Every structure is written in C-alpha cells, then in structure tokens.
Chain A
Amino acid sequence: MLPGIVRSSSRHLPCRRSLTKWMSVRNLAAASGDQMTVRDALNSAIDEEMAADPKVFVMGEEVGEYQGAYKVTKGLLQKYGPDRVLDTPITEAGFTGIGVGAAFQGLKPIVEFMTFNFAMQAIDHIINSAAKTYYMSGGQISVPIVFRGPNGAAAGVGAQHSQCFAAWYGSCPGLKVVTPYSAEDARGLLKAAIRDPDPVVFLENELLYGENFPVSSQVRDPNFTLPIGKAKVEREGTDVTITAFSKMVGFALKAADELAKDGIKAEVINLRSIRPLDRETINASVRKTYRLVAVEEGWPQHGVCAEVCASVQEESFDYLDAPIERISGADIPMPYAANLERLALPQIEDIVRAAKRACYRSK
C-alpha cells in the first residue's frame, strides 16, 4: 500500500498558471526516492500502450504539434508520427463520432477532450454511439475507445469550464468511468482503460497534472495496470469512512490529518472507479467504522455521493450509527470571483466538520 501523502496547508485554490504549489513529504516507508507527476504518468502510459499496440492512436485538439494543451501528449507526435497522433479541428461532435467509428472497426482510439465541458458537444456519440452499441448489436460490435481529459473545476475558469461530469457518465450502462488521483492511479488506470475492450470515460483533473507522487518500480513497469472497478483504501482508520475521488482525495487525506489531531481516525477511500462503483470496499469500510462522509466536487443532486449513500443504506443500514453525510459542490453554476468560487467548492474544513458531526462531536 502506498503511504499517505502529507500536504502542507494551502487554503487557496491553486492559481491555474502556477500549477503545483503543494509541498509533499514522502512517507519514510517509500522504498525509492522516486517521484512522478500525474502528467508524466499519463504521458508514459499512453506512450507505452502505443508502443505495445499499433492499433492505439490519439486524437484531439492540440495533442500533436502543440504537444498537448496541458502537455499530457508531449513528444508523442515526434515519436509515433501524424498517422497515430492527430490534431483535430475544434469540432467535438465530428471527431468523437469519427473516433467511435474507428473503434467499431477494431482500432483503439484515445480521444482527448481539452476539458470534459467540451465533450458535451459530443455526448451523443459517447452515450448513444459508444456506450450502447455492444448491447444493441447483440454483442457483435465492441467499442474499445478511451475518452480522456480534465474534468471538474480548475481555478477561476468560470461557469462553462468547471463542471464535474462523473455523475452523468457514471449513470450510463455500457460505460466504464474512472477517476485517477495519484500518479500510480493515472498510470495504472489509463493503461487498463486503453487495454479495456469497452468504452472508458477517463476523468482527470487539471490541478493534479503537476502534482508529484511517489511511485515504486512496480508502478513504472510497462505492464503495470490497476483493475477498473476497485477502490483503494488510501488511509486506514476506525472511526469514520470518507469516500472521495480525484482531487477531493487529497482534501480528504488532509481532513483525516486534521481529524487525527482530535483523536478521530478517519479511513479514506479513493474510489478510483465511478462505474463500476466498488460497493464492496465502501460497505466493508462502513461496516468497520459505522459512519460515512461521502465527498465529491460536483453538484449534489443525483451525484456520485447520492449513489454511495444509497448503496450503504441498502447494504449496511444496520451498521450505521449516524446519518450519512454528503459534502459536494454548491448547487449553483460556478462563479468566477475568487471568494465565491471558494464557497462553491468543498474545502477541507467542510469535510472535517461533517466527519465530526457523524462522530457526534461538536465543532
């Protein structure tokens, strides 16, 4: 198990331009002095899978000559040429449809959306053309495609560029939906996604790209994959379970540090996979702690946390000692002003407060 990451306090949302202002202190148990950014993890995963399988290709806006809008595809055009790394016009509906059609024929496209907000122009192809086709064709036509890109809020990018789509895609049968947090998650889950014969929606986070995480030599192995559909217990605990995914995992871990000072040992679960959702791991944890705080960045109504809550109350009702708590994004379009944006997104103190409520502790 990878050691928990200890972060120094940063109460402000990182400015988009200065990507990494977190300072990480590696747990002494980490074997080597080896670190990797999420960006490099993604880049190396795509690179290795393209090297291993000639059917894998990348398409999207600025993925080639520009080296990637967020530099995730850096160097790939130079290495694999313009037949396998394709710069598309700004036409998501069109190029997504083209990607899905190529997958129908057995190719393995990795379609990059500059952000998943733009994928709304292509959502018909993701759902109707990709997710449902294997079923509708009675098992004849599979769609081995990966849709990837940044999801959720960045910093100060406003209402049309900040939406979290985990809940929407996570509700759709036929899709697999994964949300990496660490570099290990990014590498293992992306390689698994590319190798997976089904359409996978791979939700990254722009603010995590520049973050460094320790990686073992096992993670660096070209055959390293992580199973889709399995959550990871990032930090063990006994008093309250906190579920989170993507950037919120870091917040949950920080909240766990805060709670530990008050004698509350929180167990932090990194969901890693929204669909399939690892109900087994979540419920096993709640059956141990009896209390749950579910955290997500997106909107609350019909969100990922709503499904987590439903699963736990269905399967572990008798174990619950307190009502389930949900921490999510505010029920509003994302405001631009910095003070409002901070109030619109979950903060570490919100998670701490909710955990204490679940433990019947006063503030």
Chain B
Amino acid sequence: MARWRQRLLSSACSSSSSSAAAPQALLRLASSALSRQSSSRGFAAAPDDTTPFVVDIPVPYAGHRCDPPEQRVETSAKELVDFFKVMYVMRRMEIAADSLYKAKFIRGFCHLYDGQEAVCVGMEAALTKEDAIITAYRDHCTHIGRGGTVLEVMAELMGRKSGCSLGKGGSMHMYNKEGNFYGGNGIVGAQTALGAGLAFAQKYNKQNAVSLALYGDGAANQGQLFEAMNISALWDLPVIFVCENNHYGMGTAEWRSAKSPEYYKRGDYVPGLKIDGMDVLAVKQGVRFAKEHALTKGPIVLEMDTYRYHGHSMSDPGSTYRTREEISGVRQERDPIERVRKLLLAKEIVTVADLKNLEKQAKAEVDEAVNQAKEGGQPETHELFTHVHVKGLKQLAYGPDRKEVIVPLP
C-alpha cells in the first residue's frame, strides 16, 4: 500500500525512473525563466500565437493491445493560454461551489472536480461538438467543457430557473443537448452503457464522430460496463470508454475494490491506453489517438491517472481514507494548472503578471456568475408538471393532495 501511495505522487505508469526527472527539469526552466523576467519582457511567443510547436509528454503512455502514441504533442501558445484560462475558471468554479454548499445555497449532493480539470479540457482539445460525451455525477466541469456557462452551472446548483436543467436536475443532472453532452448521471455505471448507445446511433446515422463514456475507478467494476464493452467490440461501435481514475471510489481505494486496478487493461480484448490525466497535453494526444482508433478499428479504453482534491462529495471530508500529506503532495507535484503555468513561463509565452491577470479575470468571471445566479428566480410552480412527457396525452397528473392539484400533462 505504501508503494501504491508513492505511485500516486510520482504518477508513474510502469517505469517511474524517467517521470521523476521531467517535473524537475520543468521547474529548473521555470525558475531560470522567472529570473530573466525581472530584467526584460522579451517574449518568445505572444499569447494568441497559433504557431505550432512540439512539447514532450514526460510520463510514458502504457498501451494494452495497441502501440501507444508518441510522447510528444503539438500545441501552440494560444492553446496553452486557453488551457490555463479554462482550467483556472473550472477550479475557481468548484471552489465557489464548496463555499456555496457550506452557506446552504446548494443542497443535496455536490461532487467536485477540482484536480481533474486536465481530463475534460484535454479531451475537448481533441474532439469536436459532433462527438458526444456522457459522464457520471462529477459533471460541473465536463458541462463547461462542452460549451456550458459558469452561470448556468451555478444557477442549476442553486436550483434557479436559469440553470442548465431549469433548476429541475441539480448538481448531478447537467445536460447540454446542443453541445452533445448527455449528463450528469446519478447511478454509478449506467452512463457506460448509455455511452455505447450514443455511439451506436452515431454509427447508425453514419456520422464521422465518436462518443466518450466517462466513468470512475469505482464504476470500473460494474457489470454493465463489461456488457457495454462486449457489445461495442462485437458491433464495432465508435465508443471510447474513459476511466477517470482518481484512485478512490467514495471512501474505498482502488486496491480494495478491484482485483486488477489496471483499468486500461480491463477491456481485455478491447485495447487500452493509460494516460497521465494531470497533463492536459498528454490527455489531448491520448484522446486524439483514441478517436482515430474508435473511428477505424473499434472501441478503446482510456485510463486517466488523475486525482480529486475534495472528498467524494461535500458530505465527505476526504481525509478519513487518505492522508493530508497525500493530497497536498499531489497538489504540489502534479497539479494540472501549475503544470501549464510552468510551461507557459518556461516558454516565455506569458509573464507572472500576465498569469495573475488571467487569474483575476477568471475569479471575476466566476464571482459575477455566482452573483447573477443568486439573483435568479426559482422555477415557476407550473414547471412541476412540465417535461414529464414529450407528448402528454392530456393525462391527469396529481400533486400530493390529489383533490387540490390536478394537472393535465402538457
């Protein structure tokens, strides 16, 4: 178990010797870059420059029944700055949700994603809005990635009619049909079969698109996942099963729930790829590889090695089954936003002051959304009975007192 905790910090897949060196190298570059900043402001690239350049991916991919992609990926100054911006907004949004929950603006369940931002942001860099995504209940940031706004997330969390689900869904049920985002699912594992279904329709409709079904290490043992994998492989469905392995299913560590926690291999006959989920560029490269595979060869499993800073939900302190040292260790060594920050500074794309400005803007954006959401009204009473059916057949639906509240369903 001690070795397993060590692996969490070094983020090694199999051989860890090379991975320890890379962050150190980045840090050295960053610190030397910083010392240069004080004297001059000559930039290597302006922050909206789209000229591509290549970056190394330090943590090796691990392939199962497939040859992993290259350990280097193309990016640009603009892309990196965008990554930083959107991940930072996501981070601030989740932190704001924490405070709002404690202040009782948010009720029920609230599962936060901070620490895992690189997964949904990196994914989007390799996908289009033609591709479909479905996930479980840790969905606030995934919703943003699919084109949702912070305002509609905040409003939904606070049960306002301006929420993305009109206030009727809540934290676990955020959807965006236009953005091909299918939620937001509360029952562990259900989204994996649903995701295969999304892919089925894409193939049926001859769309040149893929579906990504996201699930956690907790869901990775669900029978329906294997049923979905079997059928996907049998019928050649363009589905990518993405295990966001944050190493804990609520309070249960992966080694206590899975005989084999090598989730990228669990597809057996379905190929798999393990990716450093804290490196947004590694995620981008991996998902791009997976999309091509899914469109040409069939389903594939991706395992994102990631981490959540918060507990399972706001009801879980997150510290009874893992140490504070582990949490702060990961934050120190592998934080996805910090990694991009260091890269941006090392490449002299931005200055420390520029980043501070971006951070300020992000905080302001989130604060503004929170304030606006707070001012939003609750759903109108008649919304109680809307959206039960598409075609209501004028069927009578009853409120708690069936003599008082009788509504023909619209």
Contacts A62-B251, A118-B187, A159-B169 given; indicate if A343 touches B384 (C-beta within 8 A).
Answer: yes
Q: Which of A221-248 contact B (CB under 8 A)?
A: none
Q: Which of A87-95, A134-142, A190-198 contacts B (4 or more CB under 8 A)?
A: A87-95
Report yes or no: A343 in contact with B403, Cβ–Cβ below 8 A: no
Q: Describe B's contact surface by its main secondary structure.
A: loop
The residue that A330 contacts in the complex, of B189, B384, B403, with Cβ under 8 A, is B384
Is B170 on the interface with A (CB-CB < 8 A)?
A: yes
User: In whole angstroms, how far apart are the Cα atoms of A326 and B400 in the complex?
Assistant: 8
Is B402 on the interface with A (CB-CB < 8 A)?
A: yes
Is A11 on the interface with B (CB-CB < 8 A)?
A: no
Contacts A333-B388, A337-B167, A344-B384 given; indicate if A87 touches B252 (C-beta within 8 A).
Answer: yes
User: In whole angstroms, how far apart are the Cα atoms of A346 and B399 in the complex?
Assistant: 8
Contacts of A347 in B (CB 8 A): 400
Contacts A158-B173, A336-B108 given; indicate if A69 touches B400 (C-beta within 8 A).
Answer: no
User: In whole angstroms, how far apart are the Cα atoms of A353 and B405 in the complex?
Assistant: 12
Contacts of B189 in A (CB 8 A): 90-91, 121
Report yes or no: A330 in contact with B186, Cβ–Cβ below 8 A: no
Contacts of B104 in A (CB 8 A): 15, 17
Residues of B at the A interface (CB closer than 8 Å) are 104, 107-109, 156, 159-161, 165, 167-173, 185-189, 218-219, 221-223, 249-252, 256-258, 314-315, 320-321, 378-379, 381, 383-385, 388, 397-405
Report yes or no: A339 in contact with B108, Cβ–Cβ below 8 A: no
Contacts of A357 in B (CB 8 A): 403
User: In whole angstroms, how far apart are the Cα atoms of A321 and B2 in the complex?
Assistant: 72
CB nearest to B158 among chain A residues: A337
Contacts A65-B321, A87-B252 given; indicate if A156 touches B108 (C-beta within 8 A).
Answer: yes
Contacts of B173 in A (CB 8 A): 158-160, 336
Contacts of A325 in B (CB 8 A): 403
Is A350 on the interface with B (CB-CB < 8 A)?
A: yes
Report yes or no: A330 in contact with B400, Cβ–Cβ below 8 A: yes
Report yes or no: A160 in contact with B250, Cβ–Cβ below 8 A: no
Total interface residues on A, using CB and 8 Å? 52
Question: Smallest CB–CB gap between B200 and chain A, Å?
Answer: 22
Contacts of B218 in A (CB 8 A): 89-90
Report yes or no: A340 in contact with B383, Cβ–Cβ below 8 A: yes
User: In whole angstroms, how far apart are the Cα atoms of A10 and B383 in the complex?
Assistant: 25
User: In whole angstroms, how far apart are the Cα atoms of A276 and B404 in the complex?
Assistant: 31
Is A51 on the interface with B (CB-CB < 8 A)?
A: no
Q: Which of A320-340 contact B (CB under 8 A)?
A: 325-333, 335-340
Question: Smallest CB–CB gap between A119 and chain B, Å?
Answer: 11
Contacts A156-B107, A156-B170, A339-B381 given; indicate if A90 touches B251 (C-beta within 8 A).
Answer: no
Q: Can you report 23 residue pairs joining A to B where beta carbons are below 8 Å apart?
A: A16-B107, A17-B104, A89-B218, A89-B257, A90-B189, A90-B219, A90-B222, A117-B186, A121-B189, A159-B168, A159-B186, A327-B400, A328-B402, A330-B398, A330-B399, A331-B398, A335-B383, A335-B384, A337-B168, A339-B381, A340-B383, A344-B399, A350-B400
Contacts of B159 in A (CB 8 A): 156, 336-340
Contacts of B399 in A (CB 8 A): 330-331, 343-344
